[in-house]
Amino acid sequence: MSGVFGVLLAAGAASRFGGGKLLAPFRGRPLVEHALLALHASPVDGAVAVVGEGSSGELRRLCGRYGVRVVENPRWREGQSTSVRAGIRALGPEARAAVVLLGDQPLVGAGAVARLVRAFEKGARIAVATYGGSARNPVLFAREVWPLLEDELEGDEGARRVLRRHPELVCQVPCDGVGDPADVDTKEDLRRLEERAAG
């Protein structure tokens, strides 16, 4: 038991995509299912998926298939920061850390999550995956730094603000070769990613 739990961010209107992004097909599965598979194969003790009010039954069914508990965020329109907070608040006292993933990054993979968990077990308080030296997702937060997320996150910026303000807490974890942080904002992004995956 690692004491690490996953928090999958799956709220949002996907307006640039035209709606329905997380259920759009990618490599034969709904886009979000790739993130659920990564969590399922990762050394985490459980996971929650944060969804918006009125999210589809299909999204909830997929989460249930992988044993991921659905948490509704009634404030999801105020930005990603509200979903991060909703996710960590939903975790029980047994959670020693939370690793935050995005539902629209289908190629992150279990290997990246595993590296963050190992960094936490070696003492990291905030462990961020890097690719080519750039910090991206996923990001792990030890429970002791959750108050920073409560106090400092705003709007749609996610965790970047906390990483910038507290560099002394951040451990960069290279994940080149075990994950790809490409995200999907538009249908064109999805098409390009499908072509890359096929190649």
Backbone angles phi, psi at 140, to 5 degrees: -105, 135
pLDDT, mean over the chain: 94
Backbone angles phi, psi at 54, to 5 degrees: 75, 15
User: What does the pLDDT look like over 67-101, one tens digit per residue?
Assistant: 999 999 999 999 999 999 999 999 999 999 999 99
pLDDT band of 199, cuts 50, 70, 90: low
Which residues are registered as beta bridge partners of 172? Answer: 128
Mean pLDDT of 42-71: 93
* pLDDT of 54 strictly over 80: no
Structure tokens at 9: 């961010």
Nearest in space to 193 (alpha carbons), one of 50, 12, 56, 24: 24
Residue 75, pLDDT score: 92
Between 56 and 139, the more confident residue is 139
Residue 55, pLDDT score: 76
Between 198 and 176, the more confident residue is 176
Q: How far is CA 19 from the centre of its chain?
A: 19
Residue 53, pLDDT score: 80
Residue 36 CA to residue 10 CA, distance in Å, equals 11
Share of the chain above pLDDT 70, in %: 99
Domains of the chain: 4-198 (3.90.550.10)
* pLDDT of 197 strictly over 90: no
Distances in Å between the alpha carbon of 128 and those of 29, 122, 139, 168? Answer: 27, 14, 4, 13
Which burial class, exposed, middle or buried, applies to 66 when counting CB atoms under 10 A from its CB (0-12, 13-18, 19+)? Answer: middle
Mean pLDDT of 18-33: 94
Residue 56, pLDDT score: 80
Mean pLDDT of 145-158: 90
Cis peptide before 138, with omega less than 30 degrees from 0?
A: yes
Which residues are registered as beta bridge partners of 142? Answer: 97
